[in-house]
Amino acid sequence: MKTVAFTRMADGTREDYQLLARLEEEFARDLPERILGALEKLKDSFGGYQVSRYEHSLQSATRAHQAGESEEMVVAALLHDIGDDLAPHSHSELAAAVLRPYVSEKTFWIIKHHGIFQMFYYAHHLGGDRNARERFKGHRWYQDAVDFCELYDQNCFDPDFQSLPLEFFAPMVRRIFSRAPGFTS
């Protein structure tokens, strides 16, 4: 494989950066498969719940799909906890960062903040503030985040729920992550 000549980015040439851009584009094409692989790894994440984080993710996406949500929101529901393994204390932000170039600002915001909104269901049992989400009261997507957690997160730990398989969602993941990335401020 061809490599750049520089050891300091400041010394790179136009050709070096064109090579890197091509290689990055090729690497990015495999992003949907890496994301699906990361979901599979949630089968082995920390325990304590009656279902794995993988099953929780499938339940969330299945419920969103059955409710008629957009494909983007179904994929966001599927991936909302993908950050649990690497960022257990900031998983929402990690999941949102993965989604950000491919989804709307609204979907990004909901996923980024769902961890705080989800605290409504348990923080008071641990001495925390279950109403921490209230700092976002008045935000245009506040109720959307409340609804996301109510409909597609807090209720997705049911071992008897019949989730759709990952294979059902895989084409959606591939379509969303095959979009041209866009970045907003």
What pLDDT is stored for residue 169 in this prediction?
98
What pLDDT is stored for residue 185 in this prediction?
43
Cα dihedral angle (136, 49, 83, 37), rounded to 10 degrees? -140
- Integer Cα distance of 77 and 163 in angstroms: 13
Q: Which residue in 116, 95, 96 sits closest to 106, CA to CA? A: 96
Residue found by looking up tokens 């409909």 in the block: 151
Longest dimension (CA), the chain: 59
Instruction: Inform me whether the pLDDT recorded for 54 exceeds 70.
Output: yes
pLDDT, one tens digit per residue, over 74-132 is: 999 999 999 888 888 889 999 999 999 999 999 999 999 999 999 999 999 999 999 99
Contact criterion met (CB below 8 Å) for 181 and 100: no
Q: Structural domain boundaries of the chain? A: 46-176
What pLDDT is stored for residue 1 in this prediction?
77
pTM of model > 0.85 = yes
When pLDDT is averaged across residues 148-152 and rounded to a whole number, the result is: 98
Question: What is the separation of C-alpha 76 from the centre of its chain, rounded to a whole number of angstroms?
Answer: 5
What pLDDT is stored for residue 182 in this prediction?
85
Architecture, CATH, for domain 46-176: Orthogonal Bundle (1.10)
Q: Which residue in 95, 123, 126 sits closest to 110, CA to CA? A: 95
Contact criterion met (CB below 8 Å) for 79 and 99: yes
What pLDDT is stored for residue 180 in this prediction?
87
pLDDT, one tens digit per residue, over 3-50 is: 999 999 999 999 999 999 999 999 989 999 999 999 999 998 777 899
